[in-house]
Amino acid sequence: MMNNDILSVIQKSNNIGITFHVSPDGDALGSTLGLLLGLIQMNKNVYIMSKENLPSSLSFLPYSNLIVSACDSVKDNTDCVIVLDCGNVERINANLDLDSRKYILINIDHHLSNDQYGDLNYVDTEAAAVGEIIFDLLKELNINIDKNIAMCLYTSILTDTGSFKYPSTTIRTHNIAGELISKGIDFNDIYKKIYENKPFSKVKLYGKVIDTMEMHCNNKACFMYLTKNMLNELNLEDENSGDVISFGTIVDSSDVTVLIKETENGTKVSLRSKYIIDVRRISEYFGGGGHTRAAGFSTDMSMEQIKLKLIEILNSELIK
């Protein structure tokens, strides 16, 4: 049950802005567009804020053309701003001018590590995706979940559950997905648009990254590296390439997979685990966040420094 204050603030607001976390994924964008379409049904003036442009893989989503980096600030006369799928203020993908705000800030999320930064907060850590929360929210607002909304929310749930395979997936996840499919969406086409729609050069990049694989910590930790040089060689921009990490998890002996990526302003680390390591705890230690089996952080350390540091930490936890 959604917090009643949140429902009444949304009902009373005329001008509503929505935003989400940096490097937006299928959940951030799917839940945002689903909510946007629902609020349009309620005749709200609703807009999306983002500092980043839409990842091209998600451009099939209805109304996704509204996500443009030029619109990254709160408009005049905004009554409330809803932040989706974002655990802390630092990761918000908009200039919210928090200190002098005249609007109500609503934080709707499912991350364990959520700072409760909103005036109103709804954090359901049992939800596999924020799309699940938005599904319930729209129902409580008596909004008709039409085919376009269903497409957005299904995308949110599909991507944040790794196609319904992460342990966060529940009976409720499947029930909601079933109801969304009943709206007539082509779920097989959504799957293809998201997972079978990679440019050739990006698949070649996977090859380069896989080639860097090293096993550490008694073969229980798989490390991979992605450098700016690899992107340059393939004429790729610094786009979202985190999905290559899944190739580390398919190694039989690996519990934890670490992808270390060189970026413009430091080093980005993504972590996945299968059984033992709580990667959220490790990421939080370095100022990041996420979930038990999938998390990440950024650091000023060099790729080599963070590699050695992580091997040291993981050795102490994996080798007993």
Please choose, from the candidates 254, 257, 255, the residue with its C-alpha nearest in 3D space to the C-alpha of residue 270.
257
Please choose, from the candidates 282, 270, 291, 290, the residue with its C-alpha nearest in 3D space to the C-alpha of residue 318.
282
**Nearest-approach distance from CB 228 to Mn ion, in angstroms:** 28
| Nearest-angstrom CA–CA distance, 146 and 176 | 14
**Nearest-approach distance from CB 308 to Mn ion, in angstroms:** 31
Applying CB under 5 A, which part among 32-40, 156-164, 195-203, 214-222 lies near Mn ion? 156-164
Q: Does 132 bind Mn ion (CB under 5 A)?
A: no
Between 84 and 123, how does the x/- string for binding to Mn ion read (CB under 5 A)?
-x--------------------------------------
Compare residues 78 and 113 and give the one whose CB is closer to Mn ion: 113
Structure tokens at 129: 């995706």
**Nearest-approach distance from CB 142 to Mn ion, in angstroms:** 25
Compare residues 85 and 255 and give the one whose CB is closer to Mn ion: 85
The values of phi and psi at residue 101, to 5°, are -75, 150
Applying CB under 5 A, which part among 12-20, 65-73, 78-86, 118-126 lies near Mn ion? 78-86
Q: Does 160 bind Mn ion (CB under 5 A)?
A: yes
Contact assessment for residue 67 and residue 29, using Cβ atoms and an 8 Å cutoff: yes
Among 27, 138, 220, 303, binds Mn ion (CB under 5 A): 27
Applying CB under 5 A, which part among 157-165, 167-175, 217-225, 270-278 lies near Mn ion? 157-165
Compare residues 125 and 316 and give the one whose CB is closer to Mn ion: 125
Applying CB under 5 A, which part among 26-34, 92-100, 143-151, 282-290 lies near Mn ion? 26-34
| Residues of this chain that bind Mn ion (CB under 5 A) | 27, 85, 160
